[in-house]
Amino acid sequence: MKVLIILGTRPEIIKMTPVIRECRRQKLDFFILHTNQHYSKNLDKIFFEELELPQPKYNLRVGSGSHAEETGKMLIGIEKVLTKEGPDVVLVEGDTNTVLAGALAAVKLHIKVGHVEAGLRSYFRKMPEEINRILTDHCSDFLFAPTKKAREILLSEGISEKKIFVTGNTIVDTVYQNLKLARKKSKILDRLNLKKENYFLLTAHRPENVDKKERLKGILEGLDLIYKKFNLLIIYPIHPRAKKMINKFKLKVPEGIRLIEPVGYLDFLQLEANAKLVLTDSGGVQEETCILKVPCVTLRDNTERAETLEVNGNVLAGANSQKILKSSLKMLKQKRNWKNPFGDGRAGEKIIKILINKFFYEASHPKLQNR
Ligand code: UD1
Ligand code: UDP
């Protein structure tokens, strides 16, 4: 079985790590294709170094562009590699343009596609990721759903149950594999002069927030209210997209927000684990805070991570300043005793085991191949 792992952005590198580690452990024939949708060192290389990942065999150097530019360039580059290498299965993770391009290029060449983190839906079709998720799920052969809820969603869309496997989310594996290391190695709290629970942590990068002046302004005002109420700093490792838009809209960043460059995984994990509360519009950060039992306020009107709301680890606040303050006060009163809904930290192992069973077992039992 020859496995191709396609990735391109920060969250994909982080969430594919357990799958890559398991491929190595099982001594599988595998290689990585990086589209380079993310290319800045602190969104890309830093994670390969810290998480000790093998270098990609192919790097398409696609970079930034419009949706069509990014996806189109990726499709052309990925098809060439698929034709040359002929992998048995392509694995993609999540919902970025890289994921859609990887799945689409492979399925058209009749190469099996495995979608890690299948079955998530925000039901907000203006979100580019929602389109990427739906299309990727519907052209995949193996749908690795993180939860039973994701499985139910896939079944309700008519996807055959034979293709769906509930494995947990690989982010649990990544958090568990790195938390101790983060505590030991990260110096970020000292560097920023922070102590446990004496600061808030913020991430915001979704186009629906940062590309819209009114929403971005509402979020910044909400954070100002929080700073004035608690007199605690808000640490914001700012995504380049958000930085660009704050400058473009000439918005003033309130004094309580401390902007820093995006940080590596160990530093971010350490910042998350010790924050009083996290405010975010990130998918991965909603999951990680839920796993770490740190209260989260999501700066969106919807989420595809509904499990985090159901266990009361997260609340939706949108981009309205008063609602952001109210939601933060509510979450700070929340007992941190919820259960992690995203699995036991062995998703990577389960995914690879499923593929090995399928490919090796069926190869020796040809009658099963079309089942
Ligand atoms: C992408 C994904 C999003 C994911 C996010 C993770 C899509 C549609 N979006 O959003 O789902 O949550 O990555 O962070 O696939 N830029 C840099 N350096 C980089 C990459 C980007 O400066 O390494 C800047 C460029 O100005 C670029 C902008 O960020 O135009 C947006 O980059 P892009 O990859 O298109 O989308 P993201 O917002 O990063
Ligand atoms: N993250 C990081 N450094 C940062 C900000 C985030 O390592 O400065 C990690 C975070 O731990 C999470 C992932 O990046 O695992 C989330 O990525 P992002 O928010 O960019 O994308 P999304 O999850 O929304 O697709």
Closest atom of ligand 2 to 15 CA is 15
Tell me the whole-structure pTM to 2 decimals: 0.97
- What are the residues facing 277 on neighbouring strands? 200
Spatial CB neighbours of 49, under 8 Å, sequence gap ≥ 6: none
- Ligand 2 centre to CA of 282 (Å) is 7
- Return the closest-CA partner of residue 165 out of 192, 146, 187: 146
- Ligand 2 centre to CA of 320 (Å) is 23
What distance separates the 2 farthest-apart alpha carbons in the chain?
Answer: 68
Pairing status of strand 58-59 against strand 277-280: unpaired
Binding site membership of 8 for ligand 2 (Cβ less than 6 Å): no
Q: Which of 46, 67, 74, 96 to mutate to test the pocket of ligand 1 (most atoms within 8 A of CB)?
A: 96
Sheet holding 142-145, edge to edge: 58-59, 29-34, 2-7, 89-93, 112-116, 142-145, 164-166
Could you tell me if 204 and 228 are in contact, meaning their C-beta atoms sit under 8 angstroms apart? no
Ligand nearest, relative to CA of residue 40: 1
How many C-beta atoms surround the C-beta of residue 25 within 10 A? Answer: 11
pLDDT in tens, the chain (371 residues): 999 999 999 999 999 999 999 999 999 999 999 999 999 999 999 999 999 999 999 999 999 999 999 999 999 999 999 999 999 999 999 999 999 999 999 999 999 999 999 999 999 999 999 999 999 999 999 999 999 999 999 999 999 999 999 999 999 999 999 999 999 999 999 999 999 999 999 999 999 999 999 999 999 999 999 999 999 999 999 999 999 999 999 999 999 999 999 999 999 999 999 999 999 999 999 999 999 999 999 999 999 999 999 999 999 999 999 999 999 999 999 999 999 999 999 999 999 999 999 988 777 776 655 54
Q: Which residue is catalytic, options 34, 115, 205, 239?
A: 205
Pairing status of strand 58-59 against strand 164-166: unpaired
pLDDT of res. 368: 55
pLDDT of res. 360: 81
- Ligand 2 centre to CA of 262 (Å) is 9
Cα 347 from Cα 351, distance rounded (Å): 6
Q: Does 115 qualify as catalytic in the annotation?
A: no
Instruction: Return the H-helix or E-strand segment holding 91.
Output: strand 89-93
Q: How many helices (H) and strands (E) does the chain have?
A: 17, 13
- Ligand 1 centre to CA of 65 (Å) is 9
Ligand nearest, relative to CA of residue 285: 2
User: Is 160 in a helix, a strand, or coil?
Assistant: coil
Ligand nearest, relative to CA of residue 243: 1
Closest atom of ligand 2 to 265 CA is 7
Cα 161 from Cα 369, distance rounded (Å): 16
